[in-house]
Structure 1
Amino acid sequence: MLRKAAADPALLARAPTDAIVQAQERPVLAILTIDDDLQLFRGNRQNFADLLKTGEDQGFLAYVATVRHLKLDAPRVQGFTYNAAKDVWIKSWFPRPTIVYNRIPQREDERLPWVRKKLARIASQPDMALFNRRFFNKWSLFKWLSAYKSTRGYVPETKRLTEQRVLSGMLKRHPLVYLKPVRGKAGVGIMTVKLSPEKNLPYRLQVQDEKGSSTYHCATIGRLWTRVRANAPSESEPYIAQRGIPLAKVNGRPFDLRALVQKNAEGVWELTGIGARMAGMSSITTHVPRGGSIEDPERLLVAVFGQEKAQQVFANARHAVLTLASRIERASRSRMFEMSMDLGVDEQGNLWFFEANSKPMKFDEPHIRKKSLERIFQYGHYLHRRRQQERR
């Protein structure tokens, strides 16, 4: 396991300053994160170390930089690299990046006014490409995808949860409704409402928090709404209400597909890989930290649908994620490089879009992980070649 870098500069090794000279003809990528008083910078250090190693193998100069230290009007940047032999993060000066890979790990950090201002300045630099401009907003995603014929068929009915009558209307049409925080992460704050009219307490509310889940039974829609509001993280946290999809199950446990799409060495969206996540026995989501498990998607699909139909569902999923990625990029009006997606498969084999993440977490499947790291720099080379051609 990697040690946290000490805050005392005296404990940090120093990289040779001639790296700036050596990088004149090499593409330069800065992994952007935010400062931390205790450990110098925030983020997944193992992921950062893997990125730096892959960048070196791919002919890049790569380093970690914080928002505060990335000075856009200076020819060099104070940043960090990693010495695997000594297991230490090294502080030094590096050349101005040609690519900035936004890995600020928390939404609340990215929403800080001075951070948003810096990201906007980075995006406006003519000699710099920004990967992953910002976290996605769930409501924006569903609005974008519902607006176009090519993608609306993948979107479950979704409404902004602004008042009680929105929830009441959804439950009249769907016996299962998911309530999701617009800016949620890792399943925290997700709720489900199941309506069973034949019961004395017909409304069953299940709430997922950081430690587990809680269940409430309510007699009326008014009492249900009071419970929902009490369990929302805060009054200012917007929610959406979404039709619950009866997912395909194996051994009584529902599963969904996790896809990673990235741009390739030709600058075109390409599927990097598809995994599967199966829900834990008492979880309302398939997130692994909540008891979910990593599974082989083809094996699960064959178990439910048989070999022939499973192959068709898998082929449909490959087509769907590329269509969805292209539409999200166009609707966002900003250049994107990668995104992960959660796709549901219902009991009939239909595909449903649940979520997209502009800052994908590390995939645990080794073949997807390796390809995902390499593709970051392959697309970086594509941008570097284009910039060189434009200068001629």
Structure 2
Amino acid sequence: MELVTFGFLTVHDKHEKKYATEIAKRSSHYNIQCVRFKPTNIDPSTLKVKGEMYDDKINEWVPSTFNIPAYLYDRCFYQAGDQLKKGKLIVDWLKKNPQTMFLGCGLPNKWTVYETLKKDSVLSSYFPETNLVKSISHIKKVLLKNGSCLLKPINGSRGNGIVAVYYNNKKVTAIYHKGRNKQKKEFHKLSRFDIFCESLLKQHTYLIQPLLNLIDAHGYPFDIRLFLQKNKQGQWELVGKGIRKGYYGSFLSNLSGGGESISYDEWLTSLSATQKIIFESELQTICERLPLFLEENIDHLFELGLDIGLAKDGSVWILDINSKPGRQLLLQTEKSLEEKLYHAPLAYCKYLSEQK
């Protein structure tokens, strides 16, 4: 079989280097050569790339110049900053290049994803009512009507920029996270809250949703992360599940925001036999329908992280969908999956090359 070049796209030199290295260590079994590079390191005049090539003789990444790889694994998050914006433009160009194939093309912003999934009557029932924030008065109208709401950036990740807002006794309280630290702002006048909202909307375009009651019996916020990937036959499968538990008084359970990881099987013991059957049936429906519907209506994908909420009344909610999910939760709670997680991108790359 012809040697296949597999390119791991990064945003900076240390970005996910351990993950890329673990993949590269196993690449010789698939007759694959692994390289790492930043999209901005492609020379537009020669189409040569300056990056690193994995040398399996010395088990190290070596500075190298090479052609643009035929297969690309994009793990970059393109947010603020000129270099990241430039990187996204280059990646968009690579996606149109007939000589390159991405393992997965990723997802657009949360609003576009929501609008797409709304077309499926089954999947749409798992989403809380979601609207695009049109103005500050729009936020206040929802807040005064419901007493609370959740503001979520359409391009956010890892809980960044999410704000929980409460209205009680003519006082507005906004709670958000900065890393692991919870921030709280109180406004005794709605005009003061207007200024806060104005600042938010200058930074991001926001979605507004109801603030769901997603806490466990002890008052801790939690959600269920489902990790889905395509296997060596190109078929979707549910690789693993884990629980993310936030700290008391928070509304987020992201690990980057100070949450802890819990084994799914351990958490499942807190449900009754009937609750288990109903809940796992709901998860199966989501896993069977959602990836295929996204691919049919948006673009081809390789992996997905689905964040699922279970409310006290037993209702199941899709909270977030991530096409570049982390593996920290599974590596902490299901150590037996480690080899599978590191082999998966290579096995799927081999499948794609054989199909081509």
Task: Give the TM interval when normalised to the shorter protein.
Answer: 0.7 to 0.9
Are positions 1:247 and 2:214 aligned together?
A: yes
Structure-1 residue corresponding to 2:313? 348
By how many angstroms is 1:292 displaced?
A: 1.0
By how many angstroms is 1:42 displaced?
A: 4.7
Q: Deviations for 1:240-271, whole angstroms, at most 9, x for unmatched residues?
A: 11111111404221210111111122222221
Identity %: 20
C-alpha spacing 1:245/1:49, structure 2 compared with 1 (3 Å): same
By how many angstroms is 1:221 displaced?
A: 4.0
Matched-pair contact (CA < 8 Å) for 1:298–1:310: no
TM-score of the superposed pair, with normalisation by structure 2: 0.87
Matched-pair contact (CA < 8 Å) for 2:245–2:259: yes
Matched-pair contact (CA < 8 Å) for 2:144–2:167: no
Which among 274, 279, 287 is matched to residue 313 of structure 1? Answer: 279
Please give the root-mean-square deviation of Cα atoms over the aligned residues, in Å.
Answer: 2.9
C-alpha spacing 1:79/1:218, structure 2 compared with 1 (3 Å): closer
CA distance in 2, matches of 1:237, 1:85: 47
Are positions 1:363 and 2:328 aligned together?
A: yes
Letter in structure 2 aligned against 1:331 = N
Structure-1 residue corresponding to 2:126? 154
Structure-1 residue corresponding to 2:161? 189
Are positions 1:385 and 2:328 aligned together?
A: no
Alignment of 1:103-118 (within 5 A): 103-108=75-80, 112=84, 114-118=86-90
Structure-2 residue corresponding to 1:376? 345
Letter in structure 2 aligned against 1:54 = R
By how many angstroms is 1:105 displaced?
A: 4.1
By how many angstroms is 1:238 displaced?
A: 1.0
Matched-pair contact (CA < 8 Å) for 1:208–1:284: no
State the SS of the aligned residue for 1:179.
strand
Which among 2, 5, 8 is matched to residue 31 of structure 1? Answer: 8
By how many angstroms is 1:185 displaced?
A: 2.4
CA distance in 2, matches of 1:263, 1:53: 21
By how many angstroms is 1:205 displaced?
A: 1.8
By how many angstroms is 1:62 displaced?
A: 1.3
CA distance in 1, matches of 2:269, 2:171: 36
Q: Deviations for 1:317-367, whole angstroms, at most 9, x for unmatched residues?
A: 1331342222223332x2211121211111122211111112112233224
By how many angstroms is 1:78 displaced?
A: 4.1
CA distance in 1, matches of 2:121, 2:183: 38
State the SS of the aligned residue for 1:205.
strand
By how many angstroms is 1:46 displaced?
A: 1.0
Q: Deviations for 1:1-22, whole angstroms, at most 9, x for unmatched residues?
A: xxxxxxxxxxxxxxxxxxxxxx
CA distance in 1, matches of 2:26, 2:77: 20
C-alpha spacing 1:123/1:250, structure 2 compared with 1 (3 Å): same
CA distance in 1, matches of 2:352, 2:46: 22
Matched-pair contact (CA < 8 Å) for 1:261–1:269: yes
State the SS of the aligned residue for 2:214.
coil
Are positions 1:298 and 2:298 aligned together?
A: no
By how many angstroms is 1:82 displaced?
A: 4.6
Structure-2 residue corresponding to 1:19? none
Structure-2 residue corresponding to 1:323? 289
By how many angstroms is 1:74 displaced?
A: 6.3
CA distance in 2, matches of 1:224, 1:167: 10
C-alpha spacing 1:72/1:100, structure 2 compared with 1 (3 Å): farther
Structure-1 residue corresponding to 2:184? 215
Structure-2 residue corresponding to 1:284? 251
Gaps of 5+ in 1: 1-23, 388-392
Gaps of 5+ in 2: none
Q: Deviations for 1:155-177, whole angstroms, at most 9, x for unmatched residues?
A: 11111122123213323553331
Letter in structure 2 aligned against 1:195 = Y
Moved more, 249-258 or 314-323: 314-323
State the SS of the aligned residue for 2:328.
coil
C-alpha spacing 1:63/1:297, structure 2 compared with 1 (3 Å): same
C-alpha spacing 1:311/1:95, structure 2 compared with 1 (3 Å): farther
Are positions 1:163 and 2:130 aligned together?
A: no
Alignment size in residue pairs:
352
Q: Deviations for 1:86-122, whole angstroms, at most 9, x for unmatched residues?
A: 7853113456522111122442369855433422332
State the SS of the aligned residue for 1:249.
coil
TM-score of the superposed pair, with normalisation by structure 1: 0.80
Matched-pair contact (CA < 8 Å) for 1:181–1:190: yes
Which among 172, 197, 204 is matched to residue 237 of structure 1? Answer: 204
